[in-house]
Structure 1
């Protein structure tokens, strides 16, 4: 019982006050269902008694009082109690439809809510959380495990408690009808179910653990396929992934099938024993010349009770095994909900950039690794375009990630003029920054929605979209599209070229009207002529903008006002006119090109 109480407490902890109250309301509905059940079962006693023995009515004073009050004779009484039984059983079933509807809809509501809560909890985590997590596992937890918690754990618990309440009320009735028969049959059923449950308990726990692992494999394989579709097609490894998925999918289905089979076993055993016992009792009474009529009301009520109770007992057993099977899911969702709470955003203002961005003694290293940046200091002047170059993996992108708040430096600070960038004022700083990462992330939506990402379609500023599209020379593409800015570009922008995807990424950043634009290898899919025109257009239409570009292209460096080279934890100011500098740049570019050859 303590084990169950722990589960109930844990369920209540992940629900808010409103949901807790509604859950209690569901239990109240279950209790009322139990009262109706015993009324329906009890109503069969006088009906069977009267139709089987005319003297039955005279021997039961409370029935005589009822029929006398209503003015019914024997025939009227038979009809009355028969109709009463029918009305009660119709009422019970109609009420149970209502109760089940309320329960299922509550579970469905929790299912969607829990998935949204888990997603929100994940999104509230720092960028490093996602770097250290498996994306397919996070996706599975949001879409599948959160849902499974409600349908495979919370709903079964509601059903278990509800059915126990109803069975308790039915048991009270049967105890009063014939306590010896009730105690005997209850002990027999309990022993059978306990033995079966004890035998299957560990097996179902193992199946639950396997289910989580196999489900993760299914999600991981499918995600790998669709994330690397070009490679899958190019290397003709469709069969490899099909076999991999088929194996995990087959194991997952077999695991679920075995669990389902074990859940149905008790019902058939109980039905054999109970109904076999009833008919054997009737045969015994007939063969011993006992008065079957006198036992008929009791036999009838126990048969009816068994008819109503056996599905409930089976329901309890199935849901107990479901709870066992899905117990690991509770831990997964609890872990997600208990992740560090996102700190309230304190919107401290920070003055806009007037002179320079300064990195002072920045030290950073990934968890359990040596520092990749150590006491680095440098300055980026306002206005114009500053390009940063350096060998692959030296920490250029990491510096940008620190500036944007994706990572926290171990030591040092960043200043906008004389103002230190902090967690409290970074939110306001980011409003003035446009950022385009190495990989432009596009959605299967229209061009307009991809440029004005995260903005409701009815609030999109199309004049601004047209302006940035002209700067990025996207207007030439859009002129030839039937749906213009409403053209769907496909999943990850698969319907357009790599260069066009990068243009949309830069347009997205410019749509925000930033004063600082950060481009991290964001023009490498463009030809050098297009790159040159676009950079010039950005400068022309945004004269005060400060552009920070990480690049390995000489063409981009030639467009820069300042070139910084990161080397040996120091930042050097380079001039293309210096032959020694140019040789160093050529070496870095050639090394980068060599690494990125197909």
Structure 2
């Protein structure tokens, strides 16, 4: 979080940006509550005088707050015990109504705030470019979107709790000054001195809170890796060793939280002793040096006792707020990074149909000097099929990412029907793309929802779903499931085999009816028979959609229109399967090694 936001005023502006003008309504409600409570508290003194029969002196100890008593005279109401009790009952009854309204009002502000912040995160993630996503720490993203957002809302609650106590404090101080200004000044000095302790507590707390957030990011990063690689870690018995890294992080977080608790505990335990000490010292000074009677300061004493209680509670609440400020910082840092890496949304031109794709002078380097693609030029005609082959690291997937609108090249351009791809609204273009990777994408939902991407379950969609399942050789699998298309697949498809997961992901793209289908090692996890059936299904859409295939298994690309052989970021040869076999020794060797 930027330094200008780390001040109390800066945080006020920040939270005001979340809830808008409602912050002023909240302040007004607290001022009203403080005023009602202070008046009610002060009125107890004349009430006791009336109860003891000393009506004439009932307003003497109120100082300038005597207007409360005078109000009865102006209204022509006799100040007796019954009327005084009725007044107090009405006053605190009205205060109770305002108090209830404040609770409901703040609850609504909380819910609106967390909804707004969650939407900002979702929108930020949606607008994030793929290349930007690859630069961010996934563990930190997850921890911020879940754990740190919770801290931010904790900071929100604590800040407005502190604001509430501040308003009550100022209201009581104002009434106390109105009643007896000398006494009020002395107590205010004592309260200011008590703040020295809390400055140390606040500084220490904020430092440790930042360390806890860093540990939280690390923990989530490790946890994601453990879940993603669970099968490998379990099979190799590396899981206990990896778990020790998680355990170490857990204990480090525990120690940091305990240190914060100890310091906070000291501050909390000193709350009442500090209040009583300040009050006692001030009373002695008032009686010894100013020759005031005890009755003349009793209202100020009551008001300041309440004020000091709110002061110390304010200090403790602010300390709790500082524990959570790391959540504010993490949230804003992530939002800033989302903004830095967001995709350009300013273009108005769209690509609504995928026609000819022309790749012109494409160059791309990673880390400034590692050339991944070197002056790539070729054209993919509409509804034709092309394949990229070559050794790992040749640049095949990176080139496919550029054609798919995922990776912006350093120079050159991709033209789709004459339109420069990276100067259009990429979302419209991608809505016509299917993308099948070597690592199948399976959602924790039913078979039907995975394939149709949550389409409405009507007869038309069901028939299309069943037809696609038959094309990808999953009809027998579907019929044997207990709940048929409503059967869950588990987290990342854990309930089905690798080959079945791949076929489900292929079925999703065939169901989408795309204009460009990208297949990056899509059949690598399949057995030969299933691969043959899927190849036949893909051959059926040959001529209906543009196909872009990346393959190591050359048997899958024998019938494509053109094959591009890549090496170290360059296209070194091209042609159909037979032509390339005849003119490229490198490709011929690859074919012979695979016995295609």
Which TM bucket (shorter chain)? 0.7 to 0.9
Tell me by how many angstroms 1:81 deviates: 2.4
Deviations 1:59-96 (A, max 9, x none): 769748837966658xxx23432453355345435533
Aligned-partner Cα distance in 1 for 2:6–2:400 = 50
1:242 corresponds in structure 2 to 243
Q: Aligned residue for 1:211?
A: 212
Partner-residue secondary structure (3-state), 2:140: helix
Q: For residues 3 and 412 of structure 1, what CA distance do their matches in structure 2 show?
A: 42
C-alpha RMSD of matched pairs (Å):
3.6
Answering whether residue 431 of structure 2 is matched by residue 431 of structure 1, we say yes
Equivalent residue number for residue 463 of structure 2: 463
Q: Please give the secondary structure, in 1, of the residue aligned with 2:41.
A: helix
What is the alpha-carbon distance in structure 1 between the residues aligned to residue 77 and residue 354 of structure 2?
96
What CA distance in whole angstroms lies between the structure 2 residues aligned with 1:570 and 1:371? 14
Query: 2:564 and 2:320 mapped to 1: Cα distance?
Result: 61
Residues 342-361 of structure 1 mapped to structure 2, 5 A cutoff: 342-344=343-345, 346=347, 348-350=349-351, 352=353, 356-361=356-361
Give the corresponding residue for 2:161: 159
1:299 alignment counterpart? 298
- What does residue range 318-337 of structure 1 map to in structure 2 within 5 Å? 318-337=316-335
- 1: CA distance between counterparts of 2:377 and 2:132? 27
Superposition map of 1:62-211 within 5 A: 63=69, 66=72, 72=78, 77-152=80-155, 154-192=156-194, 194-211=195-212
Instruction: Provide the aligned length of Structure 1 versus Structure 2.
Output: 580
Contact 2:359–2:376, Cα closer than 8 Å, also in 1: yes
Report SS of the residue matched to 1:371: strand
Report the counterpart of residue 535 of structure 1 in structure 2.
535
- The verdict on how the C-alpha distance between 1:14 and 1:347 changes in structure 2, with shifts beyond 3 A counting, is farther
What's the CA shift for 1:15? 5.7
Classify 1:7/1:57 alpha carbon distance in 2 versus 1 (closer, same or farther; 3 Å): closer
Instruction: Identify unmatched segments of 5+ residues in structure 1.
Output: 594-598
- Contact 1:452–1:460 (8 Å) recurs in 2: no
Contact 1:122 1:336 in 2 (8 A): no
Specify the SS of the correspondent of 2:538.
helix
Q: Distance in 2 between matches of 1:393 and 1:470?
A: 35
* Contact 2:581 2:587 (8 Å CA) reproduced: no
Aligned to 1:34: 34
CA change 1:285–1:367 in 2 (3 A) is closer
Contact map agreement 1:362 1:374 (CA 8 A) in 2:
yes
Q: CA deviation at 1:496?
A: 0.9
Under a length normalisation based on structure 2, what TM-score does the superposition of the two structures give?
A: 0.86
Name the residue aligned to 2:276.
Answer: 275
Aligned to 2:405: 405
Task: Look up the SS of the partner of 1:96 in the other structure.
Answer: helix
Distance 1:311 1:86, change over 3 A: farther
In the alignment, the residues of structure 1 paired with residue 456 and residue 46 of structure 2 have an alpha-carbon distance, to the nearest angstrom, of: 67
- The whole-number CA distance in structure 2 between the counterparts of 1:140 and 1:203 is 23
Normalising by the residue count of structure 1, what TM-score does the alignment of the two structures yield? 0.86
The answer to whether the 8 Å contact 2:404/2:430 transfers is yes
Shift of 1:324: 3.2
Contact 1:221/1:245 (8 A) holds in 2: yes
Q: Deviations over 1:213-244 (max 9, x none)?
A: 11112212221221111122112233334332
Q: Measure, in 1, the Cα distance between the counterparts of 2:274 and 2:149.
A: 39
Q: Aligned ranges for residues 424-503 of structure 1 at < 5 Å?
A: 424=424, 426-453=426-453, 455=455, 461-503=461-503
CA contact (8 A) 2:437 2:522 kept: yes
CA contact (8 A) 2:385 2:547 kept: yes
**Unaligned ranges ≥5, structure 2:** 61-65
Aligned to 2:63: none
Contact residue 388 and residue 549 of structure 1 kept, 8 A = yes
